[in-house]
Homo-oligomer: A and B are copies of this chain.
Amino acid sequence: MSIKDQFTRHIHSLQNKICLGLEEVDGKAKFRSDVWERPGGGGGDSRVISGGDVFEKGGVNVSVVHGDLTQQAAQQLKVEGTSFFACGLSLVIHPFNPFVPTVHANWRYFELYNESGATVDAWFGGGTDLTPYYLVEEDVVHFHSMQKKCCEDFDTNFYPTFKKQCDNYFSNHHRGEERRGVGGIFFDHCRANEKHDLIFWKNFMEANGLIFLDGYSPIVNKRKHAPFSDYHKYWQEIRRGRYVEFNLLHDRGTLFGIKTNGRTESILMSLPPTVRFDYDYQPATGSEEEKLLQILKEPIQWV
């Protein structure tokens, strides 16, 4: 079976696993499936959850698309080719309780073809990152430990490299490099090279997808019944505003999707359910909210 068929099969199976795992954690809400077709070729399956006991809004989306590569898309990707295949799983989960962090993950594969249909380029990309509203150190350490362990099964350089790339990528540059969250790992343009072939990368992507629930669910289960005040919720909505700013101003995947006529609802399912934008909001000096901001401005090594 070709790499693209193997990986496509994997993300469909992973989608089922992750949805089931998250439904179990929520205990009430179920994902509903929205299957769609792409006019230019292929389609997807958007699984959406909302109004749960734990998860206020979330999506676990698979898309498997192919077709002609527009000039605009080629420019955006900085690649050459006349047609493409792309598949991926992308998820964002927004819990209601401000002590449960938001999580995002994505694993994707691209192939580019020339006019004769020969493959001229192929690469994987993806990552997983955590966005808490309040800093609970043991949770962040658990999350990073899981990612580190998974990386080390493949290459000891991966975690330090991908952790740094994650901090650099998920940053609101227009707010003095304030990070969206406490990071995780981020990697892109993972091509066959002298060290690793495409099969190796595929195996890493798959392994990283399969540990997702182990990295996230224990944190949710620990915090989902944490008592919180209106102010905790207020702060969560302020921070969700920053999530919106990052996704709409800086996120390459979102902007690529929007500019290349992707399926808007699936792309923007990442936006949080309720959000607040105050003018120049500043948390109190020495508060828990300010403590979070300091970490977002100067990321640290968690493991």
Contact = CB atoms under 8 A, between A and B. Distances in A.
Given A264-B174, A279-B59, A279-B265, A271 B34 contact: no
Interface in A88-123: none
Interface string A266-303: 00110111111111100000000000000000000000
B280 A271 contact: no
Interface residues of A, number: 31
Q: Is the interface of A mostly helix, strand, loop or mixed?
A: mixed
B241 A34 contact: no
Contact of A275 (B46, B249, B261, B275): B275
Top 3 closest pairs, chain A to chain B, by CB: A248-B248, A271-B277, A275-B275
Given A244-B277, A274-B274, 16 more contacts: A48-B280, A50-B278, A57-B278, A57-B279, A174-B261, A175-B264, A237-B274, A244-B248, A245-B248, A245-B268, A249-B255, A249-B258, A268-B277, A272-B277, A273-B277, A275-B277
Interface of A: 34, 46, 48, 50, 57, 59, 174-175, 237, 241, 244-245, 248-249, 255, 258, 261, 264-265, 268-269, 271-280
